[in-house]
Amino acid sequence: MTSTRFGFEIEHAGPTSRARTGRLTTPHGEVETPAFMVVGTQAAVKGVAPWELRELGAQIVLANTYHLYLRPGADLVAQLGGLHRFMGWDGPLITDSGGYQVFSLGFGLEHGVGKLVGTFPDEARPPGQRARARGQPARLTKVDENGVDFTSHIDGSTHRLTAEDSIRVQEQLGADIILAFDEPTSPLHDERYTAQALGRTHRWVRRSLEARSRSDQALFGIVQGGAFEALRRESAEYIGGLPFDGFAIGGSLGKSKADMHAVLDWTILALAAERPRHLLGIGEPEDLFACIERGIDLFDCVAPTPFARHGVLYTQHGKLNITNAVYRADGSPVEADCPCYTCTNFTRAYLRHLLLANELLAYTLLSIHNLHLVVNLVKAIRDSLRGGDYVEFKREWLSRYAAAGPASGPPAPESEALSPDPSSL
């Protein structure tokens, strides 16, 4: 069974790369691709209301099944009319399978790694996250052939999640796109373990296909296999051969951007070109170009909002840290030609003041800017692909962005699940 209310139409495919533009059709509206999905972990984008999301150009929101399963519970969301009504967002929604959070809250916290080796060095984390990570029990998950036992990060209660459970919960939540249940692996897993996990993932995604009962939701398969070429190729062949409405690429993407690009090169061609492809958890500005060129249509990345709450702002000239003393009396906006609400109304000096004074409004205004930039960078890439001037646009954008050097702020927390914000403790 594939969804009867979901469609994907490719509008433009570039002659010199695998980049393409297209249009997803869902029961809650269309999504122009490539698209950046905004992350609303607990059925809310942190500090940003739905009207502001519309205003800044967001097309689709990703919510986390793991979090909503634990709190407030998928049955409650269903009882209240489903996730769209619950969170006041009537546009397209996607939920993940819960697998990433279940496993990353176990293994990831234990070993301090995320999707790329080194993205979770404990010393580099903002202090709040460090304390939290260290305070976690050593082992929160236990996997077997049928599913995974895990411990709630909220209250320590124990739970079990199987492929069938994940699909049932996602059907209760009622997003337009749902994901098959998988076991993501980290860059610290060796090839042998990654192969075992991949075997489970393949059996679980097939069970996910069989478990689905709603025809108004698209179901995406997930390619795993870590940074191991043979496993990634095997997984893409297997998943690509199943009747999913689209495909996600998840799990460890290696030790570098080059590894990530290689993973895409090994997998993309096995995933039918006429179905959409989603790269899970990636979306830094510099990644978007390279991944779109390799055939990715959909991105989700939590980074813009935790970055914002720590004062790290994206600009076309690289990142800036608004808490820096150099901005104390700076009467210019974060970015001169940015049309977002924050940049058209407030100065760097004011935003710095708000953040240093722990004003809630800081988190909202800074998050609006970061989300606006990333969402509209992907839109600009889309437009340049349609207009035929992608290569020039990319060259200009990346030369401006890279010229600024590395970010002056703390690194982006890789997953919101693992990065409590300063105001939610």
Which positions lie near a copy of itself, rule CB under 8 A?
A: 42-51, 67, 71-72, 76, 79-81, 86-88, 328-329, 331, 341, 345-347, 349-350, 352-354, 356-361, 363-365, 421, 423-425
Q: How far apart are the first and last CA of the chain?
A: 43
Report helix, strand or coil for 237: helix
Q: Would residue 337 show up in a list of annotated catalytic residues for this protein? A: no
Minimum distance of a copy of itself from residue 361's CB (angstroms) = 5
Burial pattern 199-212, b for ≥16 Cβ within 10 A else e, equals ebbbebbbbbbebb
Looking up tokens 């492809």 gives 277
Q: Would residue 96 show up in a list of annotated catalytic residues for this protein? A: yes
Cβ closer to a copy of itself: 14 or 422? 422
The string of DSSP letters for 304-366 reads HHHHHHTTEEEETTEEEETTSGGGTT--S-SSTT--SHHHHH--HHHHHHHHHTT-HHHHHHH
Q: Which amino acid is at 31?
A: V
Minimum distance of a copy of itself from residue 178's CB (angstroms) = 21
Cβ closer to a copy of itself: 48 or 231? 48
Cβ closer to a copy of itself: 48 or 312? 48
Cβ closer to a copy of itself: 49 or 398? 49
Minimum distance of a copy of itself from residue 56's CB (angstroms) = 13
The three-point CA angle 380-312-343 to 5° equals 55
Cβ closer to a copy of itself: 326 or 402? 326
Indicate which residue of 96, 182, 245, 297 is catalytic: 96
Closest CA to 48 of 36, 61, 67: 61
Q: Contact, 175 vs 26, CB < 8 A?
A: no
Alpha-carbon distance of 106 to 386, in angstroms, equals: 43
Residues 6+ away with beta carbon under 8 Å from 175 = 63, 83, 93, 94, 95, 217
Minimum distance of a copy of itself from residue 415's CB (angstroms) = 16
Minimum distance of a copy of itself from residue 68's CB (angstroms) = 9
Cβ closer to a copy of itself: 88 or 241? 88
Backbone torsions φ then ψ of 291, nearest 5 degrees: -80, -35
Burial class (CB in 10 A: 0-12, 13-18, 19+), 343: buried
Minimum distance of a copy of itself from residue 290's CB (angstroms) = 32
**Sheet containing 147-151: order of strands:** 141-143, 147-151, 158-162
Indicate which residue of 176, 182, 300, 421 is catalytic: 300
Which residues are annotated as catalytic? 96, 300
